[in-house]
Structure 1
Amino acid sequence: MSHTRYGVYFTPRAGPFADAGAAWLGWDIATGTPVGSPDDAVTKRPRRYGFHGTIKPPFRLAEDTGVADLQEALSALSARIAPVALDGLTLSRIGSFIALTPTGDARDLAHLAATVVKELDAFRAPPTEADLAKRHQSRLTPMQKENLARWGYPYVMEAFKFHMTLSGPLPSEMIGKVLADANTHFGDIPPRPFPIDSLTLVGERDGDMFEELHRYTLSGK
């Protein structure tokens, strides 16, 4: 199957947390199949990306690179990167959407993400004029604009904030209920501490849903 873009995500390993996230969104990124009976009003927008935390945002491959080259580079990089652990995850409101976000010190994870963005940048094709125009419609800070120009995405490096998105933009009157529903759904399932011990290469199916292509264990010291 052909893929239009690739990205590097954190996705939970198979188990209750991965199952809960897939059922909430309605898409199992690990198997590339629909699951559950999701609420389209809440989860339709993030569903195509699967249950994940972005490490290197989706990108088109540069003309002189291939998927095999990207896989080889990510495998080698993962062997050099040490796993990190968060204190845990908590449900949060971010603007008009909700997500699971880290508790405690997340600086090691931010450093990990910056390393992956930088080390794999040679595989990223430059953004198109349409891509840039779409991003510039957002209210970006000067730093985020610099990131967009340098790395093809505004929310990387110092602007990176790890999150596992659970909704699209919600009307203010819905947010409280959705947070309560998510709290019931996930409960105490997310482990504490929360390990980030692998990276997942994902691909976008012909401009549609994202699916897992390969998981790489972080085995550096």
Structure 2
Amino acid sequence: MNKYIDGAVMLTSVCSLGLTTISIAESKIYEPSNNVVKDLQLERLDHSLRVNLKKTESYIAPTPIKAQPKPIPKVAINLIKEFEGFKDYAYIDTDGTPVIGYGLSRIGGIPVQIGDRISTTQADAALNTHIREIHRELEPIVQVDLSDRQLSALTSIAFNVGVESIKNSTLVQKINAQDYAGAADEFLRWDKANLQGALVQMPGLTRRRAAERQLFLSGSQSS
């Protein structure tokens, strides 16, 4: 009886040990190791990176919208045309420079030469281009906001004498000081032309400066 009992006990112990071994083996089969977990995480990360890369490659950046230039006031164009007049052939200006169209000394960056011809369409385009250049040159000089009429008056005199001539003038200084009445009177001082080395008052310039002054004043009163 003891043998059988001992045998039963021994068999039970062996069976218990076997079950324990099987249980441990099963746990090793179904429980992933740390290396497996890391491999899965790396695989997921790699997949995510590939997806994001494809999205980036397929993304097309929108074309930036260029700011449209501010329209040139018609009053500026009309004032310049009125006093410059139009000629479809090159001629010598009062200072000895060849000009054409609306008194332009350059067309498309090329100096005008006697014998050149121009159409009204070409002259209008060249005038608009030159006015835009004047506005760009005036922008860093004028420190205050101007109405369209004030800017048109200043554009007209700058077209006539050059931005370089007025950038340090009392006219611009008074504009920046917002002394608009005083600035308007400064226009009248620019009514002379250099003729053979001497400054001579010109009736055409006197009329032009009076018109520019009046336009400038009307702009300061309405702003």
Q: Place the TM-score, normalised by the shorter chain, in its bin.
A: under 0.3
Q: TM-score, normalised by structure 2?
A: 0.23
The structure with higher relative contact order (CA 8 Å, sep 6+) is 1
Q: Looking at secondary structure, tell me which structure has more helix per residue.
A: 2
Question: What TM-score, normalized by structure 1, do the two folds share?
Answer: 0.23
More strand by share: 1
